[in-house]
């Protein structure tokens, strides 16, 4: 099966590192024109220059901070006044770690703005042209923690669960327009985020980081952490015509980590 995204335009959040970067690279490798979104313009500029190009394709970037919703709203609204996309990958950095007793209402509001409001706003703006074109792909980067909450990620557990249930409702509403909406439930992947979380956990437990990583790998039936490249393959399939009848799903990509059905 060969996946071609020729003449498709994609918008990918958090796309200068980790999962977002791997998705953007694979979408571009499959023929899509990609708009990157992240905070660091230097990294964005370098990333754009690395993406494969061909006649008729144009890669670009937006400098955004998902933590600043007001400014993000201005930038993304302006973008969609002049652009449209066929493929939207909703992906942001995660909120700070911590248990439920460590967080207050302000923390939840900030996480809501970061993980939920940015996703809903961007999707709302992208949908106008998708509905006109009777074709669209919305892919939300979520987490296995929406099914089996992780005690140290209470903000992510809570708000990502809201995103996945919203996405299920949206999938039903837009299916008649041949638009699909799917969530990828992310397991443990080799990213800056997981390295930062492991360092925090190592300090709390007073253990070497290597022991924390080893324990993490041991939880996964495949006994390894995922490669972001593998994530890019799944996202690209979901973005393609081959996934036209797949919508409203939560797809775990976790090496078998989830124990629930």
Residues carrying an active site annotation: 152
d(CA 225, CA 108): 29
Beta bridge partners of 34: 10
- Containing H/E element for 10? strand 9-13
**CA R_g for the chain:** 18
Tokens of 236: 């690209």
Strands ordered across the beta sheet of 87-90: 60-63, 33-38, 9-13, 87-90, 136-143, 179-186, 249-253
Exposed/middle/buried for 254, CB within 10 Å: 0-12, 13-18, 19+? Answer: buried
Handedness of CA 203, 207, 208, 212 (dihedral sign): negative
In a 3-state reduction of DSSP, which class is residue 110?
helix
State the residue for tokens 């022991």.
Answer: 211
Task: Return the SS3 of 15.
Answer: coil
């Amino acid at each position: 099966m060969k996946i071609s995204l020729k003449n498709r335009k994609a918008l990918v959040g958090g796309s200068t590192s980790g999962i977002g970067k791997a998705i953007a690279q694979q979408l571009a490798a499959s023929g899509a024109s990609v708009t990157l979104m992240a905070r660091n313009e230097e990294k964005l500029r370098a990333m754009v220059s690395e993406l494969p190009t061909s006649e008729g394709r144009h890669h670009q970037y937006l400098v955004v901070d998902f933590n600043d919703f007001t400014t993000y709203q201005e930038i993304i609204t302006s973008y969609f006044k002049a652009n449209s996309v066929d493929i939207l990958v909703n992906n942001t950095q995660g909120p700070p770690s911590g248990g439920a007793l460590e967080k207050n209402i302000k923390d939840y509001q900030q996480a809501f703005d970061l993980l939920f409001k940015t996703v809903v706003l961007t999707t709302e703006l992208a949908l106008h042209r998708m509905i006109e074109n009777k074709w669209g792909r919305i892919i939300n980067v979520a987490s296995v923690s929406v099914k089996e909450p992780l005690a140290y990620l209470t903000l992510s557990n809570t708000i990502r669960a809201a995103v996945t249930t919203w996405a299920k409702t949206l999938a039903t509403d837009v299916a008649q327009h041949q638009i699909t909406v799917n969530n990828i439930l992310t397991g443990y992947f080799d990213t800056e985020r997981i390295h930062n979380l492991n360092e925090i956990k190592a300090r709390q437990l007073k253990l070497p980081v290597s022991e924390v990583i080893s324990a993490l790998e041991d939880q996964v039936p495949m006994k390894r952490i995922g490669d972001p490249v593998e994530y890019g393959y799944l996202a690209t399939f979901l973005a393609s015509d081959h996934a036209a009848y797949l919508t409203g799903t939560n797809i775990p990509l976790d090496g078998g980590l989830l124990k629930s059905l």
